[in-house]
Structure 1
Amino acid sequence: MDPAPPHDSAHTAEQPDYIQVQSSQEFAELRRAHRSFAFPLTIAFVSWYTLYVLLSNYAGDFMGKQVVGNINVALVFGLLQFLSTFAIAWWYSRHASAKLDPRAQAIKSRLEGKS
């Protein structure tokens, strides 16, 4: 059996770094920025996907309507699922670069003692 790891005396009287970071205002703002973007968008996308599935199952006449040539509503909605997935990924990437990454980097720098 391995002996217990040495105890860092710098953290005996105070909380470990991760607890301090988690309880900080900076981290709360980072989480809020992430959640305020991710949760509504996730709900919207799941709703949109559920609508597609429900229409496919229960509105066959509507989904089978020809739009142009052999292209029907179901195919258009299916392609829009892919398009919306890529759009959300792109939008999230921009959001993360602009709002999340700078905050996370500031927390990391402070934690590493660089600021």
Structure 2
Amino acid sequence: MSDATQTAIRAYPQHRARRQTPKPFAGIERSTDITLRTGPDYPAIASSAEFHDLRRKVIRFVFPMTALFLVWYLGYVLLAAYQTELMARPVLGLINIGLLLGIGQFVSTVLITTAYVRFAERSVDPLVEELRAEVDASTAPAADGDRR
């Protein structure tokens, strides 16, 4: 049979219907049946009060910092585009205001990153660990081997 004939045969739905489901390999079964899956119940976690508190805490830090940085960055770009004489004003030798503000962009990025890392270590990570411990406890196998 030619390749074209084989491709045409495979295209027919009845040919697909005859395919058998793959057999388990070495005791491993890849199933799409959700009842056979084990692990955390993500919808339940996402709807929990602890998760909402965690999200709210992260959002209260991330959104204001993002807005602040965007205003600072866009202000720098607008000054560079429309206030060239201000940006070209020398401060010390060949160093001008534009150069200092440009370096300030890098410095502010490092400061915001450092602030977020500290915030995450102090406020977010402990809550994540508590939530993870609760999830691990609820998905741990019972003494008789059944899932809770």
TM, length-normalised to structure 2:
0.69
Match of 1:60 among 61, 72, 84: 84
* Displacement after TM superposition at 1:10 (Å): 8.1
Choose between structure 1 and 2: higher helix proportion: 1
Mark the runs of 5 or more structure 2 residues left unpaired by the alignment: 1-20, 23-29, 139-148
1:89 aligns with 2:74: no
Mark the runs of 5 or more structure 1 residues left unpaired by the alignment: none
Q: Percent identity?
A: 35
Structure 1 stretches of 4+ moved >3 Å: 1-6, 8-11
Rg comparison, structure with higher value: 2
* Displacement after TM superposition at 1:105 (Å): 0.8
Describe the superposition over 1:50-100 as per-residue Cα deviations: whole angstroms up to 9, x where unpaired.
Answer: 000000000000000000010000000000000000000000000000110
Give the number of equivalent residue pairs. Answer: 110
Aligned Cα RMSD in Å? Answer: 2.1
* Displacement after TM superposition at 1:5 (Å): 3.2
Code of the aligned partner of 2:50: E
* Displacement after TM superposition at 1:17 (Å): 1.1
Alignment-derived partner of residue 26 in structure 1: 50
Alignment-derived partner of residue 44 in structure 1: 68
Aligned mates of 1:38, 1:4 — CA distance in 2: 39
SS of equivalent residue, structure 1 residue 5: coil
SS of equivalent residue, structure 2 residue 91: strand
TM, length-normalised to structure 1:
0.88
Aligned mates of 2:98, 2:125 — CA distance in 1: 38
Alignment-derived partner of residue 96 in structure 2: 72
Code of the aligned partner of 2:105: Q
Aligned mates of 2:73, 2:37 — CA distance in 1: 53
* Displacement after TM superposition at 1:47 (Å): 0.5
SS of equivalent residue, structure 2 residue 32: coil
CA distance change for structure 1 residues 64 and 9 in 2, over 3 Å: closer, same or farther?
A: closer
Q: Relative contact order, CA 8 A, sep 6+: which one is greater?
A: 1
